[in-house]
Chain A
Amino acid sequence: MSENLTPPLDASSYIQHHLQHWEWKTSFGTYNVDTLLVSWVIGITFLFLFRWVAKRATVNTPGFLQNFVEMLYDFVQTQVKETFHGRSRLIAPLALTIFVWIFLMNFMDLIPVDVVPKLAEALGAPHFKAVPTADPNLTLGMSLSVFFLVIIYGIKIKGLKIYLKELTCKPFGCWLFPVNVIFRLVEELARPLSLGLRLFGNLYAGELIFILIALLGYGQWVLGVPWTIFHILIITIQAFIFMILTIVYLSLASEEH
């Protein structure tokens, strides 16, 4: 059984091995099992953790974990209050979930390159990419969900008639409604596309540079340490930007009168 799983030995096949997903091919399509597994485990873990902290919240002497969670909560709350000019009970929890979940998934990139794939190989998976956000399926899936939320919010807050009127009459008059719809479509589609691809591009490039640094042998500490430190900044900024842009798009969808 270990004949198919012997590690590749030259640079190019090492890189190729690390860039392949653990795929499950069905007649419906291909599922990237590693992405699904890691993202679900991280999501469920952090949700249960936060819920546990919230249930045990105390004002007397809050522990470290409660302080930390409250700090995150305050941070997201201030951002939402500054940016979102409507009233909604969904926005702040959505923003918190997006920020923490994307940050934790990005954080998987800081684990040394070979650790998770070697562990997965011992359990029988031929390839394993440990960073879910380096999979465009996941990032575009998230931005597509945000896109649908924006549409639903627009219709819910403005009402279907006003929404359709704005859709068909906006830049030019109502008689030119195909042109208006096309303009609106392009603008609306560019947002989730850029949102998803931004996160994917940053994380894919970061992961690839980690793999390239890992090929340097003993000299990898010279390049590896500065890049890791820089990458910590990048993953935080990217999670933050996804969150802020979600809030901004939802805010724009619910005001434009």
Chain B
Amino acid sequence: MEMSIQGVTLVANLQSITMIAVAILIGVGAIGTAIGFALLGGKFLEGSARQPEMMGQLQVKMFIIAGLLDTVTMIGVGVALFLLFANPFMSQLLDLLKIVK
């Protein structure tokens, strides 16, 4: 499939902006999750130190909240990996370039 230099430029533009989007999605998600887990773990350790007999129940609750913290980050990672490997905009762009050719 032959493509002019303008077509290659458009594809390269889309690829670069996709990379930036993926980096922001994963990076900012990681920051939020890291801070959240740190606070969660710290409070759990504090609570277990004050009342060691509650440690079992607190641990279960900690895992529940850990899963909730992960949610939006994981949704973001899922979207980011989908953009990275099966970018829908890329296939649309390639179709359009074939039509314009």
Q: Which of A59-67, A95-103, A174-182, A200-208 is the interface stretch?
A: A200-208
Contact across chains for B85 and A208 when beta carbons are under 8 A apart: yes
Q: Which of chain B's residues has its CB closest to A198's CB?
A: B71
* Of B67, B75, B78, B85, the contact of A238 (CB 8 Å cutoff): B67
State how many angstroms separate the Cβ of B25 from the closest Cβ of chain A: 11
* Interfacial chain B residues near A205, Cβ < 8 Å: 74, 77-78, 81
Given known pairs A19-B86, A204-B81, A208-B85, the reply for A240 and B63 (CB within 8 Å) is yes
Q: Does A244 sit within 8 A of B, measured CB to CB?
A: yes
Q: Is the interface of B mostly helix, strand, loop or mixed?
A: helix
The contact string, 1 if C-beta is below 8 Å from chain A, for chain B 64-98, is 10111011101111100110011000000000000
Within B41-82, which residues are at the interface with A (CB < 8 Å)?
63-64, 66-68, 70-72, 74-78, 81-82
Q: Which of chain A's residues has its CB closest to B79's CB?
A: A201
Docked pose: A51 CA to B63 CA in angstroms = 30
Inter-chain contact count A-B, CB under 8 Å?
Answer: 47
* Of B63, B66, B77, B85, the contact of A201 (CB 8 Å cutoff): B77
Q: What count of chain A residues pass the 8 Å CB interface test? A: 18
* Of B63, B64, B70, B85, the contact of A198 (CB 8 Å cutoff): B70
* Of B63, B70, B82, the contact of A202 (CB 8 Å cutoff): B70
What are 20 A-B residue pairs whose CB atoms fall within 8 Å in the complex? A12-B85, A15-B85, A19-B85, A19-B86, A194-B71, A194-B72, A198-B71, A198-B75, A201-B71, A201-B76, A202-B70, A202-B74, A204-B78, A205-B81, A208-B81, A237-B66, A237-B67, A238-B67, A240-B64, A241-B64
Nearest first, the 10 closest Cβ-Cβ pairs linking A and B are A201-B74, A241-B67, A201-B78, A198-B71, A201-B75, A205-B77, A204-B78, A202-B74, A208-B81, A197-B75
